[in-house]
Structure 1
Amino acid sequence: MRMRIVFSAIVLVWVILMVRIYYISIKSNTYYEEIANQNAIKVERLAPLRGSIMDAQGRPMAVNRLGFSVGITPHLSARSKEAILNEEIAFLSTLLKQDPEELKKRYLRKDSPYFQGFVTVIDFISYDAVIEHFSRISLRDNLKIVPSSKRHYPYGKLASHVIGYVGRANLDDYNEDPISRLTNHVGRTGIEHYYNAVLQGKEGERRTKVTAFNQEIEELSKTLPSSTDLELTIDLELQQYISEIFAEDAGAVVVMDVEDGKLLAAGSFPEYDLNQFVTGISHEAWQELMNNLDNPFTNKLVNGLYPPGSVVKMGVGLALLGTQKITRQTSYYCTASFELGGRNFRCWRDGGHGHTDLNKAIRESCDDYFYKASLKVGVDALTPVLERLGFGDRTGVDLPNEFIGTVPGRHWKMQRYQKPWYQGETLITSIGQGYFLSTPLQVALHTGILATGKKVTPHFVKRIDGEEVVYPVDEEILTEIEKAELPHIQKGMYEVANHPNGTAYWRLINSKIKVAAKTGTAQVVGIGQDVKKRIKEEEMEYFHRSHAWLTSYGPYKNPRYVVTVLVEHGGHGGQAAGPIVTKIYNKLEELGYIEAE
């Protein structure tokens, strides 16, 4: 009996051992084979080259300059190897004319016991500066030189707020977008930021077999990175021309196709040089931008909020007619001042406009007409229409962080300030003052709707990697009543530019194109009730002068383009913005976009 127990125990032990041997040698083979492969195969992620940005004719507006980056073997910061590090830094600094202290500082900042790759000490150096020394650098075991690229903007500051710039990626960028770890740059503003995921491309991959000492044996596979280019709607020649004629002013310009929303040109002024941001702007240059009172770093196209002034009168007029409480024949007598609640609401013309209907009110920009008509219908009849016509909402343009502006009203004020709405606020809202705020792009969109009766999506990108991008168009933006009344609004705008009494007539008289337009003079400081006669704009301090608007579309009979101009502190809209608008239409004719009439 005892022998049977002993024999059984021996057999059991042998069975357990055999099962274990079988599991380790056969069943676990796949698992350990995978681990072995991971130890033997090195996977290298390949950084993509950022896509280029071209204008509508394929001319480059953002490209990549090709050069090299230089790295030094890691773990040389220890005292025992410091002599080697100093030798390599001295070699590089002499050969490539680099600051040795800066090179060493970069190395010590990046070197780590956990870091196994070469430590990059020169992020980018041009091809011409390196090519004659390339072989000497490559032959040194402690140095590694690899192709690199640097974003470059050939035209410097041209269209800077539209194109935007790239900057160094930080930890947040790495966590949000793994590819930025490879490229080390991301789009910060403008198109560069909005389309960053498209422009940065797709990473590649290289698999190699290596020894335990990380020495490469053979290349197993390689997938090249890919990049995607953007083609814009911008015409570079038109953009340059506008930048030249706007050189002495601050403000914004929009030139938009009314049929599909293509932006042929758009600028926020002053502009700034994009190239200084690629590798990091100096403290002095940054302070200069920040301290400039004309705010060159603000993209005024979508982030500049201004009282629209009289350029909203067309939309207000359409809202008035839509109520049917006001008709085309409704007339008010303008005496240059309207009293309400103990306050005088002035019209811009000292002597008044006399008997004024809507057509004349638009043509001559009579404030008094809009005071009285808006008081009759109430603000609740105005705000929904103005919102449908492009104010108080994003236009959908492909630029980041677009502001929505403000279309004030009863509900808005209660929600914002917990205060009731007063009738006097209806009056100043009807002429685009008070709480009313809009962006230049919203004014341009509003003008386009009045030109065609449809709402387009303003956009800068025409093609992505050769494929056309389609943007939505809303052709049912107006009610049936508004569609019927729209020609009357258009007639008023035509007379602004083509009737001797029109507020823009003498400033647009040299235009080769018959256009419809509206001027606007938006106050930036209030006028006290005790002031009997307002001083002239040109006599005011610069920053107290009104903003000057002129928005237009042309040709009048067959609308193709909207041209909207804002001149900050320009004074009167027609006087400051009119000559600029005239030059832009004549340039459009010269470039073949419009035929002269």
Structure 2
Amino acid sequence: MRIKLVITVFLVVWTILLVRIYQLTIKSNAYYETLATQNIIKKEWILPVRGEILDRSGKPLAINKIGFKILIDPHLSSKKRLPELEKALVHIQRDFPDVNTTKLLKRYKRLDSPYRHDPIVMVRFLPYEKVLPHFTELSRKPHIKIEPTTKRYYPYGSMTAHVIGYVGKANEKDMANDDVVKLTMIAGKSGLEKYYNRFLEGEPGYKHVKVSAFNKQIGVIETVPPKEDRDITLHLDMDLQAFISKMFDKGHKSGAVIVMRKDGAILSAGSYPAYDPNEFVSGISRAEWKRIIENLNHPFTNKLIHGLYPPGSVIKPGVALAFVDSKKVSPYTNFYCNGAIELGKHKFRCWKSEGHEKTDMIKAIRESCDVYFYKGSLLTGIDKIAQELRKMGLGQKTGIDLPNEFIGAVPDKPWKMNKYGQPWYQGETLNAAIGQGYMLVTPMQIARYTALLATGKLPRPSLAESLAGKKLEPVLEDVLSLREKRALPLVRRAMYEVCNHPKGTAYWAMRGTKVKVAGKTGTAQVIGIPQEEKKRMKEDELAYYHRSHAWLTTYAPYKNPQYIVTILVEHGGHGGSAAGPMVKEIYNWLVDHGYIR
């Protein structure tokens, strides 16, 4: 019995041993072969060079400066090897006195680990010309490695800040859905750099390298190059952009300018004042950041798509088309303006206190008669006006290739109920009809809306002309009703008279323009006028930040529209006097440089 028991135990033990031997030698062979291969073959990523951004004639707007980064071997932070690390840092500081070795030592100790085999980056970027005299000597020093790298640079600085944007060190949100950003640790933070980040960054390559047990490279098995050459060419003309920037800087003005082709191609777009994006690439100082955010003119805000303003009277041509489409007001309907209209106990005044007398649609747009639009809006109703204005691109994203575009507000009864839980009042209809009250738009929306008035088609604004040589096609929408299209020639005639008739609100400012221009001025109030004030104070008598915003949106040539020029001057007062001279200079520049024949 005992012999049987011993034999049974013996057989069970040997069976277990044989099964285990089978698992280790036969079944797990593939697993351990893979593990062994991983121990001797290392995958090294080859980072792509970020694509450049160029203007229409090839001028560089965002490029990669060539330089070097300095690295130090890992595993030097132990007490025994710390002197080697300190000696390496002394060598670096001797050649580059600006380097703070105390900070570098802290950084090294934070990143070093027994499990780390790659060198640790000490200095992320040094200019090529600064490193070159020391390259040979420094690279021979123990534990120091010098590798080529690039740094984003914006040659035109603040002139293109809000269009091009900038890149910066990636955060967790940037890395969440982008494997390339996880490798480069760089991501577009604003402007085109952010909108086209996936395209510009390209795709990484890699090489499989055979290494020894000490992580020393023995040979290269395979190399797959990165996918790069992802350049973007814009419609932007930097000569025009510089010309406009100087005009705004000369008068220390704050606002926005858009010069757009009728199909949506943007030749110039500026938000003023601006900031230098180069300061953000390597990390901005606290003092500089504080200076930017405390500036009351908001240089960090992209006013082209993030600035929300009452449109004032520039909305009136669109409101006039809404009147016509409602069938309640024809283009030939006359309203009498005596300088004000009373509704309940409230008096709604026209900007011209003595009134415009008998006024039809053309005269109302030409001379910007408020009473005409008050009376027409009461017949048409806010819901119809809002419906048509939204169709014309207001209160909607324009679709421009810039990130995080704001929508603005085109109010109506449901809008107010949803937002405030309150009913709509007739007086609010009167305010909305002249572009005040809850109405808010961006300059880009007004430029697009003006293109619709000029051509009958609503374009999608676009900064990029081509991606890696592949042209982008313009997008145009047909949104107007048949009744609105029939009334459009009369609206255009009225806009022509705004700039060319002696009683037009932009006539005096636009004299001397080398091409026939049509447009609409707007004066958007920042503060309300008290009812007890009999005579309104002049704009230049108000405190600067209480002055109205000045609009002038235009197109030219009048008979064959080709270009849109929209200008907003913050706290500029009247649109004609504040923006008119600049609009005139821009059109004269376009004529002189062959854009308009």
TM-score by length of 1: 0.96
1:236 aligns with 2:238: yes
Report the secondary structure of 1:593's partner residue.
Answer: coil
Listed as ranges, the matches of 1:109-508 within 5 Å are 109-227=110-228, 228-247=230-249, 248-258=252-262, 260-474=263-477, 476-508=478-510
Give the deviation of 1:35 after TM superposition: 1.3
Give the deviation of 1:13 after TM superposition: 8.0
Report the secondary structure of 1:80's partner residue.
Answer: coil
Aligned to 1:36: 36
Tell me the amino acid that sits aligned with residue 586 of structure 1: N
Q: Distance in 2 between matches of 1:181 and 1:113?
A: 22
Give the deviation of 1:549 after TM superposition: 0.2
**Residues 21 and 291 of structure 1, relative CA distance in 2, 3 Å threshold:** closer
Tell me the amino acid that sits aligned with residue 265 of structure 1: S
Give the deviation of 1:12 after TM superposition: 9.0
Tell me the amino acid that sits aligned with residue 94 of structure 1: R
Tell me the amino acid that sits aligned with residue 420 of structure 2: Y
Deviation per CA, 1:136-168: give whole Å up to 9, x if none.
222233111111111100111112101001111
**Residues 15 and 581 of structure 1, relative CA distance in 2, 3 Å threshold:** same
Aligned to 1:64: 64
Match of 1:554 among 553, 556, 578: 556
Q: Distance in 2 between matches of 1:10 and 1:370?
A: 105
Report the secondary structure of 2:584's partner residue.
Answer: helix
Report the secondary structure of 1:154's partner residue.
Answer: coil
Report the secondary structure of 1:75's partner residue.
Answer: coil
Counting matched residue pairs gives 593
Report the secondary structure of 1:158's partner residue.
Answer: helix
Give the deviation of 1:43 after TM superposition: 0.6
**Residues 25 and 154 of structure 1, relative CA distance in 2, 3 Å threshold:** same
Report the secondary structure of 1:246's partner residue.
Answer: helix
Report the secondary structure of 1:400's partner residue.
Answer: coil
Conserved in 1, the CA contact under 8 Å of 2:117 and 2:215?
Answer: no
Give the deviation of 1:331 after TM superposition: 0.6
Give the deviation of 1:103 after TM superposition: 2.4
Tell me the amino acid that sits aligned with residue 182 of structure 2: R
Report the secondary structure of 2:43's partner residue.
Answer: strand
Report the secondary structure of 2:283's partner residue.
Answer: coil
Q: Which runs of 4+ in 1 moved over 3 A?
A: 1-28
Aligned to 1:575: 577
Tell me the amino acid that sits aligned with residue 361 of structure 2: L
User: Which shifted more, 265-274 or 102-111?
Assistant: 102-111
Q: Distance in 1 between matches of 2:107 and 2:441?
A: 47
Q: Distance in 2 between matches of 1:104 and 1:153?
A: 31
Give the deviation of 1:366 after TM superposition: 0.3
Q: Distance in 2 between matches of 1:77 and 1:404?
A: 54
Deviation per CA, 1:445-474: give whole Å up to 9, x if none.
110111111111101111111111224321
**Residues 27 and 112 of structure 1, relative CA distance in 2, 3 Å threshold:** closer
Deviation per CA, 1:381-416: give whole Å up to 9, x if none.
201000001110100011111110000111111111
Q: Distance in 2 between matches of 1:140 and 1:495?
A: 77
Q: Distance in 2 between matches of 1:502 and 1:244?
A: 28
Tell me the amino acid that sits aligned with residue 287 of structure 1: K
Q: Distance in 2 between matches of 1:249 and 1:2?
A: 106
Report the secondary structure of 1:300's partner residue.
Answer: coil
Report the secondary structure of 2:159's partner residue.
Answer: coil
Tell me the amino acid that sits aligned with residue 395 of structure 1: T
Structure 1 residues not aligned, in runs of 5+ = none
Tell me the amino acid that sits aligned with residue 296 of structure 1: P
**Pairwise CA RMSD of aligned residues?**
1.9
**Residues 12 and 81 of structure 1, relative CA distance in 2, 3 Å threshold:** closer
Q: Distance in 1 between matches of 2:377 and 2:173?
A: 50
**Residues 537 and 19 of structure 1, relative CA distance in 2, 3 Å threshold:** closer
Tell me the amino acid that sits aligned with residue 593 of structure 1: Y
Give the deviation of 1:15 after TM superposition: 7.8
Tell me the amino acid that sits aligned with residue 439 of structure 1: T
Conserved in 2, the CA contact under 8 Å of 1:334 and 1:355?
Answer: yes
Give the deviation of 1:114 after TM superposition: 3.5
Report the secondary structure of 1:535's partner residue.
Answer: coil
Conserved in 1, the CA contact under 8 Å of 2:88 and 2:142?
Answer: no
Listed as ranges, the matches of 1:10-21 within 5 Å are 21=21
Give the deviation of 1:323 after TM superposition: 1.2
Q: Distance in 2 between matches of 1:418 and 1:32?
A: 68
Q: Distance in 1 between matches of 2:290 and 2:551?
A: 30
**Residues 6 and 522 of structure 1, relative CA distance in 2, 3 Å threshold:** closer
User: Which shifted more, 276-285 or 128-137?
Assistant: 128-137
Conserved in 1, the CA contact under 8 Å of 2:450 and 2:564?
Answer: yes
Deviation per CA, 1:310-361: give whole Å up to 9, x if none.
0000000000011121112211111111111111111111211111001100
Give the deviation of 1:170 after TM superposition: 2.3
Give the deviation of 1:190 after TM superposition: 0.5
Report the secondary structure of 2:145's partner residue.
Answer: strand
What is the identity percentage for the equivalent residue pairs of Structure 1 and Structure 2?
50
Report the secondary structure of 1:548's partner residue.
Answer: strand
Q: Distance in 2 between matches of 1:35 and 1:535?
A: 83
Q: Distance in 2 between matches of 1:251 and 1:406?
A: 19
Q: Distance in 2 between matches of 1:82 and 1:16?
A: 51
Report the secondary structure of 2:123's partner residue.
Answer: strand
Q: Distance in 2 between matches of 1:150 and 1:535?
A: 53
Report the secondary structure of 2:473's partner residue.
Answer: coil
Aligned to 1:104: 105
Conserved in 1, the CA contact under 8 Å of 2:53 and 2:231?
Answer: yes
**Residues 19 and 409 of structure 1, relative CA distance in 2, 3 Å threshold:** closer
Report the secondary structure of 2:298's partner residue.
Answer: coil
**Residues 557 and 83 of structure 1, relative CA distance in 2, 3 Å threshold:** same
Report the secondary structure of 1:313's partner residue.
Answer: helix
Q: Distance in 1 between matches of 2:175 and 2:379?
A: 58
Report the secondary structure of 2:207's partner residue.
Answer: strand
**Residues 14 and 274 of structure 1, relative CA distance in 2, 3 Å threshold:** closer
Conserved in 2, the CA contact under 8 Å of 1:46 and 1:182?
Answer: no
Tell me the amino acid that sits aligned with residue 72 of structure 1: I
TM-score by length of 2: 0.96
Conserved in 1, the CA contact under 8 Å of 2:499 and 2:510?
Answer: yes
**Residues 22 and 376 of structure 1, relative CA distance in 2, 3 Å threshold:** closer
Give the deviation of 1:239 after TM superposition: 0.7
**Residues 11 and 185 of structure 1, relative CA distance in 2, 3 Å threshold:** closer
